Amino acid sequence: MSERKPGAESTPPGDSQLPLFEVFVQEKSGAAHQHVGSVHAADAEQALQNARDVYARRGALLSLWVVASDAIVATTPEDSPCFFDPAPHKIYRHPQFYHTPQGVKNL
């Protein structure tokens, strides 16, 4: 095998680390699936197997999801302030805005 010079191309065409998938696991019954990391795989089935091998090595998991990373649509930090307007002036969205006669309970 020949020595390579720094900067030389070492990944030939047709070889790659394969597409990226995001991994979500459910640890307890009733819990939401949580993002734990990513894996590379040729397809979703292989991604599931790789995710199992890496993220389910210890302890029981109930369920595993993989999602192609480029299928995830996300907000950008720049958009966040207006996108997630907390609307503090819309107090009518909260129960305290509404009055109940004195003495009425469980409401």
Interface residues with another protein (CB under 8 A) are: 1, 4-11, 14-18, 20, 36-43, 45-46, 54, 57-58, 74, 76-78
The residue to which tokens 């210890």 are assigned: 58
Which lies closer to another protein via its Cβ, residue 34 or residue 90? Answer: 34
Minimal distance, residue 19 CB to another protein, in Å: 9
Size of the chain in residues: 107
Report the residue number, 3 or 28, with the smaller CB distance to another protein.
3
Q: Under 8 Å CB-to-CB from 98, ≥6 apart: which residues?
A: none
Contact predicate 64/24, CB 8 Å: yes
Structure token pair of residue 74: 């996300």
> Given the complex with another protein, which of 73 and 107 has the nearer CB atom?
73
